[in-house]
Amino acid sequence: MSTVTAPTKEAPTKSKNLVEMNWDPITRIVGSLGIFTKIDFANRHVVECHSTSSIFRGYSIFMKGKDPRDAHFITSRICGICGDNHATCATYAQNMAFGVRPPALAEWIVNLGEAAEYMFDHNIFQDNLVGVDFCEQMVKETNPGVFAKAEKTMAPHGDLHGFRTIADIMRALNPFTGSFYREALQMSRMTREMFCLMEGRHVHPSTLYPGGVGTVPTIQLFTDYLVRLMKYVEFMKKVVPLHDDLFDFFYEALPGYEEVGKRRVLLACWGSFNNPAVCDYTYKNMTNWGRAMYVTPGIVVDGKLVTTDLVDINLNIRILLGSSFYDDWQHSETFVKTDPLGNPVDKHHPWNQSTIPRPQKRDFGGKYTWVMSPRWYDKRTGDHLALDTGGGPIARLWATALAGLVDIGYIKSTGHSVKMYLPKTTSLPEVEFEWKIPKWSNAIERDRARTYFQVYAASAALYFVEQALEELHSGRTKTWSEFKVPEEAIGCGFHEAVRGVLSHHVVIRNGKIANYHPYPPTPWNANPRDVYGTPGPYEDAVQNTPIFEENGPDKFKGIDIMRSVRSFDPCLPCGVHMYLGDGKVLETRHSPMFGLQP
């Protein structure tokens, strides 16, 4: 039996004037997202939100019958900003299915590539896409009072980042003309060069394979990477205090801003960076090698760590329908009845999913999106939890902090925080940053965690370079292990895409793909109301959001809603639109969603 796990925000309201406000498309994200809201301007909050995606491509359908070795090349094309996360996750699933363990050096090369991806992607998203929501032009248009205050507010860490006032930071974030905007864009290129050193091409890698990598490990390879990495390290020593100043200012300038984009703490992280000494890719040992990852997998509910066990995580994934353009697969084939440990596998687990598209008209009272509703079944309570990734970093840092397992010199998890060390660089001394578990899972803390995770990725990369060089210096230069594709097998891969949890689930029969279902982060975040009526995380977070914008309905930009949605780092080549309506007033008593009305 399942229940609605978060209090619904669709409770009757006393306001009579709801204004329909829609944004379609939401820009400065990857992919196609629409957000449809009803706003109560008298009481200054969002009453209802629907999230919709307008693209369907059908990977699970056209991958059937293909060679399982092709899976990582194909699935990379799911996403144009974190395609390599898909390719990597696919090779993890292939390695399990093929029973192959790559040489340690290959794992360090993949870890270095993926670390560069986090460094690049969080950087460009934070400072070239999200940052625009905090830039001078935007703040002036939405909250002129706040901008006036920013002009008068000294940046507490101005000595570290070079901007005297908060308004100076905002000016530097103006698109294309802002100095920090352009510096960040340039930095996003250097980190992509680091990525290309390890994985060949960005964003669809050329050198990843099941069994390892084709990258040629030379002294030059790691030198070229390390030199760039240290420039990024110096950059981050300025960026962390810059963002702390900017985000802290919003709490100060707009009391109550912590409510923007806030939702119950329901965070998921599937773990990242395999440890080659422990990871043998067998399902039977998955619990152990999952806990040895350098970002710890975990589910955090109401601030408590529920599990760090990848087997537990895997078995309780459920794909629900309810508001999506698909037929149920109850009568389709059950591909996997039990996992390799003998545990039963549910019909709504990705291994057993059949994708049956049914294109139809969009109806917000019925079916309205191409995104399905992934949930995690909490066996303690019987709830199907609408977990979110918070855009990735907040969940990764939270799970890693609570688990207390990571301790690699550059990074130490304390059980309540994560400490990260950056060594001396050209012009700045060594620094320690500490990410502490925040009071809320909200827009500002999701954004702040993103900056801190950029440091985490850099610190981890410093460790990986050391480990890779040790292999190289010891003469262990093999980067690929041979394998044979079995006639029958199953596999799963767990990884963290930049914006959160990523899993791939494959079933092989007669040496071909019989079923393949990838679950990227955005379906977890951008999904619609499920069959039990539980809204997806964007919907839930936006429905919670108070309005701080100074504009009324006629000039409304929806900036607080934009900040809420973008804090999740939407990436919807399967996903969401925002369309600014004409501000027409609805009679709430005519809206069946609101139940009893006066």
Partner 1 sequence: MATEAAPYGRVTQKAPAVAEVHIVWITAGLGCDGDSVSITAATQPSIEDVLLGAIPGLPKVHLHNPVLAYENGDDFLKYWYLAEQGKLDPFVLVVEGSIPNEKIKKEGYWAALGTNPKTGQPITTNEWIDRLAPQALGIIACGTCATYGGIHAMEGNPTGCMGLADYLGWGWHSKAGLPIVNVPGCPVQPDNFMETVLYLLYQVAGLAPMIPLDEQLRPTWLFGKTVHEGCDRAGYYEQGDFAESYGSPKCIVKLGCWGPVVNCNVPKRGWMAGIGGCPNVGGICIGCTMPGFPDKFMPFMDEPPGARVSTSAVGAYGRAITALRTLTQATVNKEPKWRHPRAELTTGYHPRSY
Question: Of 216-235, which residues contact partner 1 (CB under 8 A)?
Answer: 216-217, 224
Rounded (10°) CA dihedral 88, 91, 95, 101: -50
**Whose Cβ is closer to partner 1: residue 325's or residue 435's?**
325
Q: What's the CA gap between 23 and 582, in Å, rounded? A: 11
Q: What are phi and psi of 469, to 5 degrees?
A: -65, -35
Beta bridge partners of 22: 36
**Whose Cβ is closer to partner 1: residue 343's or residue 360's?**
360
The HSE-up count of residue 189 (CA atoms within 13 Å, CB side) is: 5
Burial profile 361-378: b = 16 or more Cβ within 10 angstroms, e = fewer: eeeeeebbbbbbbbbbbb
Binding mask 541-580 for partner 1 (x = CB under 8 A): ----------------xx---x----------x---xxxx
Cβ of residue 523: shortest distance to partner 1, in angstroms?
15
Cβ of residue 361: shortest distance to partner 1, in angstroms?
6
Residue 42's alpha-carbon distances to 13, 16, 91, 253, in angstroms, are 11, 9, 53, 22
Binding mask 395-434 for partner 1 (x = CB under 8 A): ----------------------------------------
Q: What's the CA gap between 382 and 598, in Å, rounded? A: 35
Q: Segment contacting partner 1 (CB under 8 A): 20-28, 241-249, 272-280, 493-501?
A: 20-28
Q: Are strands 33-40 and 577-578 parallel, antiparallel or unpaired?
A: parallel
**Whose Cβ is closer to partner 1: residue 54's or residue 308's?**
54
Residue 298's alpha-carbon distances to 289, 309, 314, 494, 546, in angstroms, are 13, 7, 11, 12, 30
Number of residues lying near partner 1 (CB under 8 A) = 94
**Whose Cβ is closer to partner 1: residue 73's or residue 421's?**
73
Q: Segment contacting partner 1 (CB under 8 A): 197-205, 258-266, 306-314, 422-430?
A: 197-205
Q: Is 357 helix (H, G, I), strand (E, B) or coil?
A: strand
Sign of the C-alpha dihedral computed for residues 559, 565, 569 and 574 taken in this order: negative
Cβ of residue 94: shortest distance to partner 1, in angstroms?
11
Q: Give the tokens for residue 543.
A: 């429905």
Q: Does 349 bind partner 1 (CB under 8 A)?
A: no
CB atoms within 10 A of CB 255: 8
CA 14 vs. chain centroid, Å, equals 36
Residue 21's alpha-carbon distances to 558, 568, 579, in angstroms, are 8, 20, 7
Q: Segment contacting partner 1 (CB under 8 A): 60-68, 409-417, 467-475, 536-544?
A: 60-68
Which parts of 71-130 interact with partner 1 (CB under 8 A)?
A: 73-74, 77-81, 83, 106, 124, 128-129
Q: Give the tokens for residue 148.
A: 């006036």
**Whose Cβ is closer to partner 1: residue 158's or residue 581's?**
581
* Residue choice 15, 153, 183, 196 for contact with partner 1 (CB under 8 A): 196
* Residue choice 283, 377, 421, 480 for contact with partner 1 (CB under 8 A): 480
Q: Looking up tokens 């029958």, which residue turns up?
A: 488
**Whose Cβ is closer to partner 1: residue 16's or residue 64's?**
64
Which parts of 297-326 interact with partner 1 (CB under 8 A)?
A: 325
**Whose Cβ is closer to partner 1: residue 327's or residue 550's?**
327
**Whose Cβ is closer to partner 1: residue 207's or residue 442's?**
207
Q: Does 506 bind partner 1 (CB under 8 A)?
A: no
Beta bridge partners of 505: 492, 517
Q: Does 8 bind partner 1 (CB under 8 A)?
A: no
**Whose Cβ is closer to partner 1: residue 129's or residue 148's?**
129
Q: Does 179 bind partner 1 (CB under 8 A)?
A: no
Contact by Cβ (8 Å): 310, 270: yes
CB atoms within 10 A of CB 192: 20
The residues near 342 (Cβ < 8 Å, ≥ 6 apart) are none
Which parts of 137-166 interact with partner 1 (CB under 8 A)?
A: 137-138
**Whose Cβ is closer to partner 1: residue 283's or residue 329's?**
329
Cβ of residue 322: shortest distance to partner 1, in angstroms?
17
Cβ of residue 314: shortest distance to partner 1, in angstroms?
26
**Whose Cβ is closer to partner 1: residue 25's or residue 390's?**
25
**Whose Cβ is closer to partner 1: residue 8's or residue 186's?**
186
Q: Is 240 helix (H, G, I), strand (E, B) or coil?
A: helix
**Whose Cβ is closer to partner 1: residue 6's or residue 260's?**
260
Extended strands (E) in 326-482 = 373-378, 383-385, 411-413, 417-422, 431-436
* Residue choice 2, 126, 212, 349 for contact with partner 1 (CB under 8 A): 212
Q: Does 55 bind partner 1 (CB under 8 A)?
A: yes
Q: What's the CA gap between 208 and 112, in Å, rounded? A: 13
* Residue choice 160, 213, 306, 310 for contact with partner 1 (CB under 8 A): 213
Cβ of residue 281: shortest distance to partner 1, in angstroms?
17
Q: Segment contacting partner 1 (CB under 8 A): 194-202, 239-247, 344-352, 492-500?
A: 194-202
Cβ of residue 325: shortest distance to partner 1, in angstroms?
6
Cβ of residue 96: shortest distance to partner 1, in angstroms?
18
Q: Looking up tokens 């940053």, which residue turns up?
A: 433
